[in-house]
């Protein structure tokens, strides 16, 4: 069977690595762009069957190599995203200007599909720089490439994520955990394998001009997520509702860490529910269910954070 050509930006991230595995198993040939081949090459190379993955290092996104790569692909997928701003990595550059440029070139070279990952629950968050930059990116993309497909996932979790793993580390180390907005914000976490299945159906299918919200099977509040994490790592901690001024102060401190655990902008975004909007289609509307249950999946990798590790008994505190 003839291999199909995919160009992937942001391939070394949680979603990208899982997607490469799925695509290469299904006869897609992938060109993965990374900023530092020495840092990410070894993780990426092991994801695909031999002959199905090429790695390209691009440090400067004004490089003419981008044109050459887009010209030679049939599907371009953009998974590049950041959670906080640092130096040159500003939300507007990464979430608005970069997808603007990629979708413009995708249209210029008349490729078959442009697929982009945005985020759920950002429509009303006009006080969050992250949300505004992602929404602006969506608008630019549709303006440039009208048949684009934009996926908007809720929290994507797995052993490689930056959400459950960070919180399990915090819950293990702190004697108590602050509850922002009384822990009431709602999420519909989706396991990375289920999100990759949605992406695969979109890549392989005939969908055009689509905004698709990608959600898991359960609605969980922030408090319920923390409760399930604690249960899974077999630890007891006080969950303390934090008044907003104190929460803001804690974010001001936590964002000073080299890899910030919480920024002021993330705290702002946490105010908004992260569930389907009712405006766009969801994966369920396309008949693509997400059946992996948060607690069941979590139990498969949370032992790293449990005292005594994988073989500790459930109530050995």
The residues that touch ligand NAP, with contacts defined as CB under 6 A, are: 10, 12-16, 34-35, 40, 79-82, 89, 94, 117, 119, 153, 155-156, 161, 163
To ligand NAP, the closest distance from the beta carbon of 293 in angstroms equals 17
To ligand NAP, the closest distance from the beta carbon of 222 in angstroms equals 14
Between 57 and 227, name the residue whose CB sits nearer to ligand NAP. Answer: 57
Between 234 and 272, name the residue whose CB sits nearer to ligand NAP. Answer: 272
- Alpha-carbon distance 154 to 1, whole Å? 35
- Alpha-carbon distance 255 to 169, whole Å? 16
Residue 64, CA distances (Å) to 29, 58, 70 in order: 22, 10, 10
Residue in the shown chain whose Cβ atom is closest to ligand NAP: 13
To ligand NAP, the closest distance from the beta carbon of 63 in angstroms equals 12
Question: Which regions of the chain does DSSP assign to beta strands (E)?
Answer: 4-9, 28-34, 53-57, 75-78, 113-117, 149-153, 156-157, 176-179, 186-187, 190-191, 210-214, 220-221, 238-241, 281-282
Helix (H) or strand (E) holding 175: none
To ligand NAP, the closest distance from the beta carbon of 285 in angstroms equals 19
Between 39 and 252, name the residue whose CB sits nearer to ligand NAP. Answer: 39
To ligand NAP, the closest distance from the beta carbon of 248 in angstroms equals 23
Dihedral sign, CA of 163, 166, 172, 175? negative
Between 111 and 196, name the residue whose CB sits nearer to ligand NAP. Answer: 196
Q: Which of 98, 120, 142 is nearest to 198 (CA)?
A: 120
Between 35 and 92, name the residue whose CB sits nearer to ligand NAP. Answer: 35
Between 14 and 228, name the residue whose CB sits nearer to ligand NAP. Answer: 14
- Whether the Cβ atoms of residue 154 and residue 294 lie closer than 8 Å to each other: no
To ligand NAP, the closest distance from the beta carbon of 98 in angstroms equals 7
């Amino acid at each position: 069977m003839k291999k199909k050509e995919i160009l992937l930006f942001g391939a070394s991230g949680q979603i990208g690595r899982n997607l490469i595995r799925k695509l290469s198993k299904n006869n897609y040939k992938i060109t993965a762009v990374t900023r530092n081949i020495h840092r990410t090459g070894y993780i990426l190379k092991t994801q695909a069957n031999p002959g199905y993955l090429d790695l390209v290092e691009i440090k400067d996104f004004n490089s003419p190599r981008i044109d050459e790569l887009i010209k030679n692909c049939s599907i371009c997928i953009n998974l590049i995203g950041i959670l906080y701003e640092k130096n040159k990595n500003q939300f507007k550059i990464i979430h608005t200007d970069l997808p603007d440029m990629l979708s413009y070139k995708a249209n210029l070279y008349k490729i078959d599909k442009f697929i982009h990952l945005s985020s759920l629950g950002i429509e009303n968050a006009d006080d969050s720089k992250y949300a505004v930059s992602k929404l602006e990116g969506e608008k630019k993309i549709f303006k440039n490439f009208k048949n684009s497909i934009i996926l908007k996932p809720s929290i994507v979790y797995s052993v490689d994520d930056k959400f459950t793993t960070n919180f399990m580390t915090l819950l293990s180390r702190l004697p108590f955990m602050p509850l922002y907005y009384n822990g009431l914000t709602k999420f519909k976490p989706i396991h990375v394998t289920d999100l990759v299945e949605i992406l695969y159906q979109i890549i392989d299918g005939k969908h055009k001009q689509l905004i698709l919200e990608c959600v898991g099977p359960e609605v969980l509040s922030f408090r319920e997520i923390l409760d399930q994490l604690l249960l899974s790592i077999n630890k007891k901690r006080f969950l303390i509702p934090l008044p907003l001024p104190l929460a803001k102060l804690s974010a001001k401190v936590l964002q000073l860490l080299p890899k910030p655990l919480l920024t002021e902008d993330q705290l702002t975004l946490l105010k908004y529910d992260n569930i389907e909007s009712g405006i766009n289609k969801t994966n369920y509307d396309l008949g693509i269910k997400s059946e992996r249950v948060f607690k069941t999946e979590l139990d498969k990798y949370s032992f790293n954070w449990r005292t005594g590790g994988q073989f500790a008994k459930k109530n050995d505190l």
